[in-house]
Amino acid sequence: MASSKRTGKGKTRSGQQGKRAAPRRRAAQREPQRSWRRRLAGWALRGVILALAIGLPLVVAWAWYLDERVTDRFGGALFTLPATVYAAPDEIYVGQSLQIDQLVASLERLNYVASSSVEETGTYERRGNQVAFHRRGFAFPDGKQPGRRVVARIVDGRVVELDDPDGNDVGIIRLEPRSIGTLYPNRTEDRVLLSIDEVRENAPLLLQTLLAVEDRAFYDHGGVVPTAILRAFLSNLFTDQVQGGSTITQQLAKNLFLTHERTYRRKFAEMIMALEMEWHYSKDKILEAYLNEVYLGQDGNRAIHGFGLAASFYFGRPVSELAPEQIALLVAMVKGANYYNPRRNPERALARRNTVIDVMVDLGLVDQTRAADWQARPLGVLERAGSRARHPAFVDLVRRQLVEQYDAEDLHTRGLNIFTTLRPRVQAALEDSTENLDEIEAGRGLEKGTLETAGVVASVSTGEIEAMIGGRDTHFDGYDRALDARRQIGSLIKPAIYLTALSRPAEYNLITELADKPVAIEQKGSATWKPENYSGTFHGPTPLIEALAHSRNVPSVRLGMAVGLDSVADTLERLGAPRPSPFYPSMLLGSMTMSPFQVAQMYQTLSADGFVTPLRAIRSVVDQQGKELSRYSLDVRRAVDRESLYLLQYGLQTVVREGTSTRLNQVFPAELNLAGKTGTTNDGRDAWFAGFTGSRVGVVWVGRDDDRPANLTGSTAALPLWAATFERLDIQPRDTTPPRGVRLMPVGPDRQVVLPERCAGERIPFIAGHVPEAAGTCSGEPAGNESTGDGGFFDWFR
């Protein structure tokens, strides 16, 4: 038993030892795990240290790089500004021929608003035969003109009084010019720059509303609000709602330098750049940049940036004239310009605008009563986008004339102001004339939309282009037919033939007999050419003036061949038209091609008494500071002598009085002395009319782009558009006083003989010293065969 007890005691001690050894064994077993974790922690610590050692300099370098981008952008020109193109300003003066409706139309083209009061600029009130308006201020090349209230009284289509509110005579006043286009680079980004001081003074509600909606603590934070970022992060993480949490400074950093991708890297860069902008620049500078950079819509391929351009694009008005609800709409669109587009999504835009007005109430910017009134108003945006590319054909001409003097970079980045010659009233009349094409197509059995057109109207005295269209769709910015469509000109060439002949007074005058009989002309490399008259008949001996007036082909060809092709080519060149080379006989009937612009240059010389004045679209170029960089002065030279041209002008006046353009007599009084020429090409493919008054010359072409037969004539297709244009204009009669060196002599009724000066009848001009011998009697009989008493009282003194 003793043995047994010892054994038990031994087992007991052994068990106790086993129990003490178990933790040691477990600890020994855990030791490799602890060692591995310690090693892992060590590696992690070393990784963090290494990452900091490597990453921190990289972050610093990245921040440095971002800072360089910020300072480079803000240190130079923050925005590249396209050149802005302006029309000529409408002028109003006492004695002017002007209808009240025309004046109102001029104001409404500038988006003046009818009002019962004209206290604010950009408003007008019509009362009976008076129109009161408050002109906007504008910086013209010759100085800044302030806003001004004016009352115009118009009686029987003429301005009889032009006074200010105190009754002082104004005499003459200029409206501000209309912006008609911009010249911008491929980036197609556009804006109208605003200064923070300008907005603070003239549109303080815009600043207050913008900050209330987008960044209430803008003037208190340092560019980033961590709590807002954390709140937005948690919302985006745990809910379906997307929140930005970005300050105005962060938004500006994103818009100026970064993409719109939703990544943490982009957000981190945005925060760094926002802090850097706040470090370097004042709050006002940052806010000013935001006002001009924020994206507010799209006009085709042109991005609308900034509140300045958006005010014009949506409302046709400067920021200073915006109503409170209009300001609220623009601020509402900051959240998503395309999503809240008031033209495409008006209900959505209205709801968002009214939400912004509610915010204005919450912050005490407006009381509830006025806010309710604003919320009840319609959006009020222009039905048609306030695009500044209003007259693309004309702006295309401006661009082409500018590149002769300015680099493309200057036109796209320096914010130049281009003051042009375009007259809004004339342009509107020319554009509206295209409505006649529907009737012309119907009359010719053509499908609607088949015909195209182009037209140019210029000043006789200065060569300034007052209007131009490049197609039926006058707002389409594409193929410019006025400049680029080379079409056969038909009979428009004939004045050059007749002028060449009349410049030889010893050989030709207006009553010189021309043969109108069949003729065959050999042409090198082609079959014998046998021209015919449009009517298909021959008229025998024809006075030169009648051959011109009725546009007879055969006598015109005979005359051209007689004076010589080279001589006719010389005349064309002197008139400003391109010289045909080689010059084939068939070109005497206008188979040569010219653009409407080139034809306008030729006929401008014919209308300007033989002085060539290169057609121009630009008056001056001014930089952003108001300094005039270029003034486009007149470049005038005499091309043909005044006397022979006077004879030709008389012939072109006869074209209207009794020839191919007599339809104009149904529209215009004879005392205007209109002159012009029709042109028609084979199979009626091209129809032309070129005509001039005392102050303007106009050219219209009508035809098909595919050059297929259209059965058109100049008198039935192009002339109606010319007449529709000029009918709406203030037309000055042509001065038909003959120059020295020209004598007016009576001629017989058949225009074949000169009568004694005492005789009655049509008096035709002749160059002095080259007047044919007069007949002996007023009946046209030769001297010696006169009957007594035929000459009346003067027979006693023969």
Q: Which residues are catalytic?
A: 214, 491
CB atoms within 10 A of CB 56: 10
- CA 763, CA 650: separation in Å to the nearest integer? 11
CA–chain centroid gap for 682, Å, is 34
346-362 and 368-376 helices, crossing angle to 10°: 170
Strands 302-305 and 295-299: antiparallel
Residue in 686, 704, 752, 698 with CA at minimum distance from that of residue 725: 698
Cβ atoms of 290 and 86 within 8 Å: the answer is no
Q: Could you tell me the two tokens for 250?
A: 């962060």
- CA 198, CA 202: separation in Å to the nearest integer? 6
Segment (H or E) for 703: strand 696-703
For 580, phi then psi, to 5°, come to -70, 130
Which burial class, exposed, middle or buried, applies to 635 when counting CB atoms under 10 A from its CB (0-12, 13-18, 19+)?
exposed
Strands 295-299 and 637-638: unpaired
- Inter-CA distances, 162 with 133, 159, 232, 292, Å: 11, 7, 61, 38
748: CB partners within 8 A, 6+ apart: 755, 761, 775, 780
685: CB partners within 8 A, 6+ apart: 487, 488, 703, 704, 707, 708, 709, 710, 712
Give first-to-last CA distance, the chain, whole Å.
194
Which burial class, exposed, middle or buried, applies to 781 when counting CB atoms under 10 A from its CB (0-12, 13-18, 19+)?
middle
248-257 and 264-280 helices, crossing angle to 10°: 110
For 618, phi then psi, to 5°, come to -120, 135
The structure tokens 């072409």 sit at 701
Which burial class, exposed, middle or buried, applies to 321 when counting CB atoms under 10 A from its CB (0-12, 13-18, 19+)?
buried
- CA 615, CA 127: separation in Å to the nearest integer? 40
159: CB partners within 8 A, 6+ apart: 92, 93, 94, 95, 96, 98, 152, 153
Residue in 782, 781, 775, 784 with CA at minimum distance from that of residue 756: 775
Q: Could you tell me the two tokens for 318?
A: 């400067």
Segment (H or E) for 181: strand 179-183
Q: Could you tell me the two tokens for 538?
A: 């021959």
The structure tokens 């064994």 sit at 25
Q: Which residues are paired to 465 by β-bridges? A: 458
How many Cα atoms occupy the beta-carbon half-sphere of 120 within 13 Å?
15
Q: How large is the greatest C-alpha to C-alpha distance in the chain, in angstroms?
A: 196
The identity of residue 297, as a single letter, is G
- CA 337, CA 190: separation in Å to the nearest integer? 15
Give a three-class secondary structure readout of 553-611: HHHHHHHHHHHCHHHHHHHHHHCCCCCCCCCCHHHHHCCCEECHHHHHHHHHHHHCCCE
Q: Could you tell me the two tokens for 409?
A: 């970079």
Q: Is 180 helix (H, G, I), strand (E, B) or coil?
A: strand
